[in-house]
Amino acid sequence: MRQFIDFDFVEAVIRAGSIRKAAEDMNITASALNRRINRFEEEFGYEIFERLPRGMRLNAAGELMLQHIRRQKSDLARLKSLVADLSGARRGHVSIACSQALMPDFLPRQIASYRKAHPGVTFSVNTRDRLAAEQELASFASDIALVFEPKHMVDFEIIAAVAQPIHATMHVDHPLAKKNVVRLRDLVEFPLVAPSSHYAVRVLLDDAFKQRRYAEFATVVESESFDFMRNYVMHEGAVSFQFPIGIAPNEQMTSRPLSIKDFAPGNLLLGQQRGRTLPVASARFVQQLVSGLEELESVTAE
């Protein structure tokens, strides 16, 4: 539809922050893109950009228009899914923003299971921290999010929640591997590897150490990659941390839960943008995820 094609040009300017940079990204001339934007504003009846000395940004009218068009595109995707269902062919696309912990095992299994029944549905899966996931929901860049304790949650509609205790991960020969449960006082004897404060597991670890002033949470290595941290403990007698949903089987690595007397568990949340009606494929996949999380909760409880 033409209005959506024109909107693609508008979004390009929003992303780039200027006509010149957006034109370069889209491989068209700046004058042609400027004419497109001017025509869009004329048909809309209002200017949607502030023209600044160093670029362009949306004004208040543009922000309202942006949300309206994104909702229209979402509704159109849902309509196409419904029409596809009439012929018995499930089609559609599901976009997901999720924490790294979901990548090794849980989400691949869930997507493969869904596509086995509905091979016409495609997926995009993007690793996002809590704040970025909420921003993607708000911009309709992602349909659903699977994250640990979002920071703001103003428009984050929780569909399902599962508590996940923090696990200490280590080499199978590590002294802590002999314990059933790891206490905070056990950790201070070993080098620690952890993510930055962008991640829920680090926030929970910092909170636990602050409450017990005799110990400081001091890391020898910090990383944004949980894959790196899992592999690092194979090369030094270090301890890393992860939620159990993100721990894939490994003959050389093991994990032990941190005591709930010292460390609060994290909450894995499945959610969407509040008030949004999801496309059919996304809504059906959400139903499957809810069942998968319920099974996960029952296993964790055992």
Residues 89-121 have pLDDT tens digits of 467 889 999 998 888 889 999 999 999 988 888
Per-residue model confidence (pLDDT) at position 254: 93
Looking at residue 5, what is its pLDDT?
A: 65
pLDDT at position 151: 64
Fold of the CATH domain 166-264: D-Maltodextrin-Binding Protein; domain 2 (3.40.190)
Domain(s) of CATH 1.10.10.10: residues in the chain: 2-58
What are the DSSP E strand ranges found in 190-279?
192-194, 219-222, 240-242, 253-257, 266-273
The boundaries of every CATH 3.40.190.10 domain in the chain are 90-163+267-301, 166-264
Q: Residue 88: its pLDDT value, please?
A: 47
Instruction: Give, in degrees to the nearest 5, the angle at Cα 202 between 176 and 224.
Output: 100
Whole-angstrom Cα distance, residue 12 to residue 296? 41
Class of domain 2-58: mainly alpha
Tell me how crowded residue 18 is: count the other CB atoms within 10 A of its CB: 15
Residue at 173: amino acid letter: D
**How many CB atoms are closer than 10 A to CB 237?**
13
Helix or strand run (H / E) with residue 277 = none
CA gap 90, 108 in Å, rounded: 20
What crossing angle do the helices spanning 280-301 and 60-86 adopt, rounded to 10°?
90
Topology classification of domain 90-163+267-301: D-Maltodextrin-Binding Protein; domain 2 (3.40.190)
Helix axes 2-16, 19-26, angle to 10 degrees: 120
Per-residue pLDDT of the chain (302 residues; tens, 9 = 90+): 555 667 788 888 888 888 888 888 888 888 888 888 888 888 888 888 888 888 888 888 888 888 888 787 777 777 777 676 655 446 788 999 999 888 888 999 999 999 998 888 899 999 988 888 888 898 888 999 999 876 667 788 999 999 999 999 999 999 999 999 999 989 988 999 998 888 888 889 988 888 877 667 889 999 988 889 988 998 888 999 999 888 877 888 999 999 999 998 988 999 999 888 888 888 889 999 999 998 877 655 55
Give the per-residue pLDDT at 16. Answer: 84
Q: Which of 250, 254, 243, 257 is nearest to 177 (CA)?
A: 254
Nearest-angstrom CA–CA distance, 291 and 85 = 22
Cα(132)–Cα(262) distance, integer angstroms: 29
| pLDDT at site 4 | 61
In three-state secondary structure terms, 231 is helix
Three-class secondary structure of residue 272 per DSSP? strand
Residue with tokens 């957006």: 22
